[in-house]
A and B are shown apart, each in its own frame.
Chain A
Amino acid sequence: MTQKTGAADVLTVTANGLYCPAGDFHIDPARRVANALITHGHSDHARPGHQKVLATRQTLEIMRLRLGDHFADASQQIAYREPLAIGDARVTFFPAGHVLGSAQILIEANGRRVVVSGDYKRAHDPTCESFEPVRCDAFVTEATFGLPVFRHPPTSQEIGRLLQSMQLFPERAHVVGAYSLGKAQRMLALIAEAGWDRPVFIHGALDKITELYRSEGAPLCDTRKIAAADKKKLAGEIVLCPPSAISSDLWLRNFPEPRIGFASGWMRVRARARQRGVELPLVVSDHADWNELCATIADTGCSEVWVTHGAEDALVHWARMRGLAAKPLHLLGFGDEDEADAVQDAQETTS
């Protein structure tokens, strides 16, 4: 299915990931490179040690916070929708709606327009700028939830289920796992939006990122750090923690009859929730669901689709049925933040 012309004129796949020869840069490279364009701050996309990093101001802030001041030899910030020439290519960042500062990158080179989506979603999120479709010849998309069984319900419905459970079990602490960068803050904003007026108690690993979001103006509800001694008193309260903490008997100890929730797109599949011992699955995802993936491909007007990671096979199959040229890239090293990254959680807990 590979074509002689198209996305391949602009991008190639190297051992380090997506590479644009015209501008001599990589996008979200898996290993140390000279020039890296970073779509967003999640650790599988934003790795330390590149010589030069180009990203939005918020993404650079997040990298600094998570990776330390020396996350790269040099960094340059770029605003949304402002084109920048790099070598023989021109790049423009557009909001991706995934997390604070997340971007899709339009590359114009050799007379072609290629958009690399990074991770993205179309659903409601008060904590970051919404995704905007960009017309292009070729669209390089993620497919974390690229199976038609994945459709994320409206977030209001899922937050409603959390609040209903709070009413049914007022004697229990509701401990909800949510990825520490993005998901947790989105939950805090959605909970505020639903009218919850008490503070939400947060795990230490969420603290710094949550403060960053707040300083960027995200409409979060009031939060309190959890001191170990207070756990016993948290009956009837919402506790937010990184996903690894809901599997930690040690950390869960002392909460009054903890009712375990998990905010993740994977919660749509029952077995996934049960495998993690989740009693209250909340289907809230920062990735596009199947319908959004299909609609976005149509919105870009592209004739060619490359699928970076996730359930590539199904989305590629669907795109080909629609007459588009499509291929899976099988990029290694990308995951979904809910599934990977216990290590990252651990690092943040101790830092």
Chain B
Amino acid sequence: MNRFAELLDRLSFEPSRNGKLRLMTDYFRRTEDPERGYALAALTGALAFRHAKPAAVRALIAERMDPALFAMSYDFVGDLSETVALLWGATGVVASRPAGSNHPPLTLSEIVETLSRAGRLDLGRLLASWLDSLDETGRWALLKLITGALRVGVSARLAKTAVAELGQVEPNDIEQVWHGIAPPYLPLFAWLEGRAEKPSSIDPAPFRPAMLAQPLDEKNFDDLDPRDFIGEWKWDGIRLQVSAGRDPSGARILRLFSRTGEETTGAFPDLADALGRIEADAFALDGELLVVRDGRVQPFGALQQRLNRKSVTAKLVSEFPLRLRAYDIIAEGDEDLRGAPFEERRNRLEAFVANSQSPALDISPLVRFDDWQTLAAARADPAAAGAGDDAAAVEGVMLKRRDSIYTPGRPTGPWFKWKRDPFNIDAVLMYAQRGHGKRSSFYSDYTFGVWRTSEAGEELVPVGKAYFGFTDEELAKIDRHVRAHTIEKFGPVRVVEHGLNAGLVFEIAFEGLNRSTRHKSGVAMRFPRIARIRWDKPAAEADRIETLEAMLPPT
């Protein structure tokens, strides 16, 4: 466990991708089975402990210390596992019992194997005894591990790349065998070290690394020929890859993946189930996950209701029905289509979607254009250019070369995304709250408002919250402003001085505006972020609610 904890600790401070790879490859080389296999499982998110939830960790510390001291500590540190790791053994935190260090050093394997057998009631006792025997780094690593949120800047893909380097194979070779093997991956390491053959099980539903688009610079148009490109809407949803096949017994295997290759099947069982009923034996589609209700794509906020849920209830499924809006087909039957030109793949996709007759699948329509002016007009007004009722969910247009093959990564040239210009308003900072994670201990979550006239006169009404769009230096400066201009504190929230004669103005950029009954202002912004900090602008000159109301889509 010490070595694994040390690895996580060093990964968390290592800024460079290559540095992280070197640390991991070195760890896999120096560490024995099955320890390293469990480490790989942890890094790829393949371990899940049924009973070990953040609530269990919270309960453990709650039994041992004053709740107010805990709350203040957590507020400062901003990360539950780290807070508990740091608190363990402090004055005011009840010690379990003097550590009888007769035990051999704790191993990662012991933790994983013990937890997989343990019942819910054993968890607290086990955790406490392990925490007693570990140092601060060890406690932090243990708690990160069991709550399943390592957050050391390593994706599953990067961990697999590190393992691939061990055997000098390609990361895609690891992907190929990945779903046929399980922790602690003994056959994988045996193969990589030349002690055994490549694990034979071919995954019937593998992840295929996604192809990404680069942002379009409008200057690019001079060098591009509109006839070489096909246009599509850029949807304001979540990129999703569905990969389906059959196991040797003929049973359906279907998996959903994020664009980074994290499996998300469990989060969207309704969609997986519906897509699994498509008759074709094997296929892999690339598309956008959307909530479609009554034939209309819902705003991103609706999709957010489906994210990060512990359980997917029937109510959730019926209120937020999911659909995959496909824009590419990368495999069909035994055929790998990634080498075919996009135009040909598009024809295959149209046929596939038409044959599938699945209510959970549709095709992303093309945007027709002969010259860049027409495309620019479509981007500016998607509703008039064919997006119709779904125009509110369009965040721009995509341009794909007709001859582009499907290349993993973000190659320069074949695909471009051209986002719509965001909306901008000037608003006044009203409340600030401490951030979490990287920004803990800084006031980094800002609620801002615009002017309106009420019976009491001019007042600011909150219209949104933003927590990005500024540099670390700007954050430090805003943080100082918040601390120096706090007029009241409510728990973690500070009221920052705001009024006609005082206040800090933010230029807020956002992607769109919806009516909202939940907000006092009656409007809700999509993706608000801070475009500029207007240290120079008097608060009285910030925008008024009427300006926002004029931006609302017609009812």
**CB within 8 Å of B: which residues of A?**
147-151, 153, 268-275, 277-281, 290-291, 294-295, 311, 313-314, 317-318, 321
Contacts and interface: CB of A to CB of B under 8 A. Distances in A.
Contacts of B65: 148
11 contacts: A147-B69, A148-B65, A149-B86, A151-B90, A269-B76, A270-B12, A271-B438, A271-B439, A273-B13, A275-B472, A294-B91
B92 interface: yes
A278 B92 contact: no
Nearest to B65: A148
A273, A280, A314: which has the most chain B beta carbons within 10 Å?
A314
A147 B12 contact: no
A290 B68 CA distance: 15
B363 interface: no
Query: Interface of chain A, helix or strand or loop or mixed?
Result: helix
Given A148-B90, A270-B82, A321-B66, A314 B442 contact: no
A157 to B, nearest CB: 10
Contacts of A148: 65, 69, 73, 86-87, 90-93
A156 B91 CA distance: 22
A275 B76 contact: no
A129 to B, nearest CB: 25
A313 B13 contact: no
A294 to B, nearest CB: 4
A162 to B, nearest CB: 14
Contacts of B90: 148-149, 151, 290-291
B502 interface: no
Interface residues of B, number: 31
B79 interface: yes
Contacts of A321: 66
Contacts of A279: 13-15
B83 interface: yes
Interface in B439-472: 439-442, 472
A301 B79 CA distance: 35
Given A149-B77, A269-B77, A314 B441 contact: no
A295 B91 contact: yes
Contacts of B66: 317-318, 321
B91 A149 contact: no
Nearest to A165: B10
Contacts of B78: 271
Contacts of A151: 86, 89-90
Contact of B441 (A150, A271, A313): A271
A151 B89 CA distance: 10
A318 B437 CA distance: 26
Interface in B59-81: 65-66, 68-69, 72-73, 76-79
Contacts of B76: 147, 149, 269, 311
Contact of B72 (A277, A295, A311): A311
A259 to B, nearest CB: 10
A17 B439 CA distance: 32
A280 B19 CA distance: 14
A335 B72 CA distance: 19
Nearest to A272: B441
Pairs A-B, 6 closest by C-beta atoms: A149-B86, A148-B90, A294-B91, A271-B440, A314-B72, A291-B91
A149 B72 CA distance: 10
Contacts of A295: 91
A272 B12 CA distance: 12
Interface string B71-112: 011001111001100110111110000000000000000000
Contacts of B14: 279
A269, A271, A295: which has the most chain B beta carbons within 10 Å?
A271
B79, B93, B437, B440: which has the most chain A beta carbons within 10 Å?
B440
Contacts of B83: 149
A227 to B, nearest CB: 28
B441 A317 contact: no
A318 B92 contact: yes
A273 B440 CA distance: 11
B442 A275 contact: yes
Contacts of B440: 269, 271
Interface in B163-187: none
A89 to B, nearest CB: 33
B69 A318 contact: yes
A272 B76 CA distance: 10
Contact of B91 (A275, A290, A313): A290
Given A271-B78, A271-B437, A295-B91, 13 more contacts: A147-B69, A148-B86, A148-B87, A148-B90, A149-B90, A269-B76, A269-B77, A269-B82, A273-B13, A280-B13, A290-B90, A317-B66, A321-B66
B91 A268 contact: no
B91 A271 contact: no
A274 B439 CA distance: 9
Nearest to B72: A314
Contacts of A274: 12-13, 438
B207 to A, nearest CB: 29
Contacts of B89: 151
A294 B92 contact: yes
Contacts of A150: 86
Nearest to A279: B13
A307 to B, nearest CB: 13
Contacts of B136: 153
B442 A313 contact: no
A317 B91 contact: no
Nearest to A322: B92
Contacts of A311: 72, 76
Contacts of A153: 136
Contacts of A280: 13
A271 B77 contact: yes
B515 to A, nearest CB: 37
A269 to B, nearest CB: 6
B374 to A, nearest CB: 45
A139 B87 CA distance: 25
Nearest to A277: B15
B78, B86, B472: which has the most chain A beta carbons within 10 Å?
B86
Nearest to B140: A270
Interface in B460-517: 472
B73 A149 contact: yes
A279 B13 CA distance: 5
Nearest to A266: B441
Contacts of B13: 270, 273-274, 278-281
Nearest to A146: B72
A347 B77 CA distance: 32
A279 B66 CA distance: 33
Nearest to B19: A279
A330 to B, nearest CB: 11
A224 B14 CA distance: 29
Contacts of A281: 13
Interface string B178-201: 000000000000000000000000
Contacts of B441: 269, 271-272
A273 B91 CA distance: 24
A263 B65 CA distance: 29
Contacts of B93: 148
B69 A317 contact: yes
A319 to B, nearest CB: 11
Contacts of A278: 13
Nearest to B86: A149
B438 A275 contact: yes
